[in-house]
Chains A and B, each alone.
Chain A
Amino acid sequence: MSVPTWERIVGNIGVIIVLLLIGGGLVWLFVRALRGKEVDRRVVFAFILISVAAPLLLTITFEMKPTHIVQELYDKIDNLPAGSRILLSFDFDPPMAPEVQPMADVVSRHVLTRGHKAVFMTLWATGQAQFNITLEDVIRRQFPNAVYGEHYVDLGYKAGNEGVLNVIRTDFKKMFPTDVNTVPWDSLPILEGIRSCSDFDLIISLGGGKPGVKEWVLFVGDPTGVPVAGGVAAVVAPMLYPYFPSQMCGLLGGIKGAAEYENYFRDNHPDHTDMETPAMIMMGPQTVAHVVILAFIVIGNVLFFVNRRKEVKR
C-alpha cells in the first residue's frame, strides 16, 4: 500500500474544502428540512453548479471499469483482423456533443490504432461538423501517417434519413457516388469492393436521436446480419439495451460508457497513455452532482413527511 505523500495531501486540500463546503451545505439544508422550512429552487441550482464546477476545476477523476456491454464493443474492434472495414456514422449534433464526441474520438482512435479501414459518414447534417472535430483532434494529430482514401474516408452527409439506409443496404454507391469532397467513389482505394452495407465487418453509429443507432439496427443490421454497435446519449440508452446482444454487439451509454471505453483503451494501449480523456474528466462532476441530487431527494422526502406530520397534528 502506497503512503500518501505531503504533495498529494496538499493537492487534495482543495478537493477536501469543496467537499466539506457541499457536505456542510447539505447538512444545513437537511436541518432546515427537519424544521419544515422549504428551499428556494435557486439554492438547488447553486448547489448543482458548485458540485459540477468544483470537480471540473480541481480535476477530480475516477477509475472506470468497463461493463460487459462496453467491453463487447471494445473486443469486437480489437479482435477484427487488421484491415477490416468499419463504417462509422456520426449521427449527432452540438447539443449531444458533450456526451457523444468523446465516444466518437476514442472509437475512431481505436479503429485506426488497430489498422482497420474507417469509412465515415453521417445521417445528420450537423454530423459533418462533428466529424471535422474528430478529424482535426484525433486523426490528423495522432495518426499523421493515415492516408485519406486509403486508411480512412469521409463520405459526408446525405439527406433522406431512413431512406438513405434503405438504399445503402443494397447499393452504397447509388447514394454516395462521391466522397464529401466530390472525389468519385471508384478513385478511392478504401472503397474498392464495397457494394453494400453487407461488405462492412462492423457498423458503428454514434448519436442518440432519430435517425440513429435504432434505425441502423432496424434498416441495416437486422436485414443484412452485419454487426451493429452504437454510442448514444444517455437519454436514449435505456431504450437500446434490449437490442443487446442479439441485435447489437455493443453499446456505449452516455458519458459513463465513453469513460469506461476511454479508461480501458488507455490501459491497454501504452502508446496512448497521454491521450486526452474528456469523458473520464466529466465523470468527476457527474459523480459529485449525482450524490448531491440524491441528497436533495432525501431532503425533499424528509420535508414532505415533516410537513405531512404537521398537517395531521393540526
Chain B
Amino acid sequence: MSRLAVVVFVIVCAAFALSWVLRAGATEGDHAVRDAFLVTLSAFMTLAIMSFMYRDNPYYKFAEHLFVGISAAYWMCVGFWSTIVGNLVPRISEGLSDFFKVPYSGGGLDFDLFFLPYRVFYLIPIILGILLLMRLIPKTGWISRWPLAFIVGTFAGLNLIRYLQSDFIIQISATFVPLFVEWQGFGDFVSRLSLAADGQFIAMLSNLVIFLGVFCGLVYFFFSKEHTGWFGGASRLGIWILMITFGASFGYTVMGRISLLVGRLTFLFRDWLGIISS
C-alpha cells in the first residue's frame, strides 16, 4: 500500500469517525449512538459506491463486496424463514409448527412418524427440494434435472395460459379501436373540433396511431415478402414506430436512474448532513 493510500485511508476514517460523533450529538432518542453509526455507515457506503464515477478504487470494491455478501445472506435467510418455515412447516407438521412458533394449518392426509403427524402430500416438494441440492455433488448432479424439469414445466404451463389469454387475445382485441370516434358527420366534427386531451379529434388521432403503429410494426417483422413499394413504406414507418417506442423507454429509464440519484442525494443531504428538511 502506498503512502498516499495510507494517508487517504486515515483521513477517510477520521472524517467518518467525526461524522459519527457529530451525528450522535444531533440525534435524539435512546439509540442515538447506534442510529448515528448506521446513518454514517450508510453515507460512507453511498459515497464509496459513487466514488467509482471517478475511477475504480478499494473503497468501491469494499462496498460492492459487502453489498453482494449481505444480499446473498439476506435472501438465504428470507428463503428459509418464508418458504420453508412460512409455507412448508405449517402445512406439514403440528410439532414442527409449534417448534418454529408458526400457526399450524392442519387437515388432509396424515400419517404418524416418531409420534408426530405429517401430511403426505407436502413431502413431495421436500423430496424434490433435496433432489435439487444434488447439484452440489458432481457425481449425482444429474438428479437435480428432474426437479428442475418439474419447476420449468409447471411455470411454463402456468404462464402459457395466462400469457396467451392476457398478452395475446386481450391485447389483440384491445387493438380493435374505432377510427371514427363518436362520428356524426363531417359538419359535426368540424363544429366540435378542439385539441383537448379528452376531445373527439385527439381520441381519433390516438386510435389512428394505435392502428397504424401496430399494423406497420407487424409489417416490419414480416420477412416472407420483400420490403419494397407500399410494403417497404409501411415497414419503414414500423421502424420509426419502434424507434419512438425505444426512445420513450430510454427516456423513462433515464428518469428512473435520476430518481435513484435523487434518492441517494436526499439521504446524504437530509439524513446524514441535515442541510435540507424534507
Contact = CB atoms under 8 A, between A and B. Distances in A.
A235 B197 contact: no
Given A45-B53, A234-B253, 6 more contacts: A98-B264, A99-B260, A222-B166, A254-B252, A278-B278, A282-B266
Interface stretch (B13-21, B33-41, B82-90, B182-190): B82-90
A237 interface: yes
A189 interface: no
A57 to B, nearest CB: 6
B52 to A, nearest CB: 10
A290 B254 contact: yes
A276 B278 CA distance: 8
Interface string B149-177: 00000010011001101110011011000
B209 interface: no
Contacts of B166: 217-218, 222, 247
Given A158-B86, A218-B167, A235 B158 contact: no
Contacts of A286: 255, 258-259, 262
A234 B245 CA distance: 14
B53 A56 contact: no
A178 B248 contact: no
Contacts of B105: 177
Contact of A253 (B252, B264, B269): B252
Interface centre among B87, B170, B261, B265 (most CB of A within 10 A): B261
Interface of B: 53-54, 75, 78-79, 82-83, 86-87, 90, 102-103, 105, 155, 158-159, 162-163, 165-167, 170-171, 173-174, 197-198, 245, 248-249, 252-256, 258-266, 269, 275-276, 278
Contact of A285 (B167, B262, B275): B262
Contact of B102 (A42, A52, A182): A182
6 contacts: A48-B258, A218-B166, A222-B165, A237-B252, A286-B255, A286-B262
A77 interface: no
Given A162-B159, A289-B258, A246 B278 contact: no
Contact of A218 (B54, B163, B254): B163
A309 B252 CA distance: 33
A56 B103 contact: no
A182 B269 CA distance: 39
Contact of A162 (B155, B252, B255, B259): B155
A56 B278 contact: no
B83 A159 contact: yes
Interface string A94-113: 01011100000000000000
A56 B252 contact: no
A56 B262 contact: yes
Contacts of B255: 234, 254-256, 286, 290
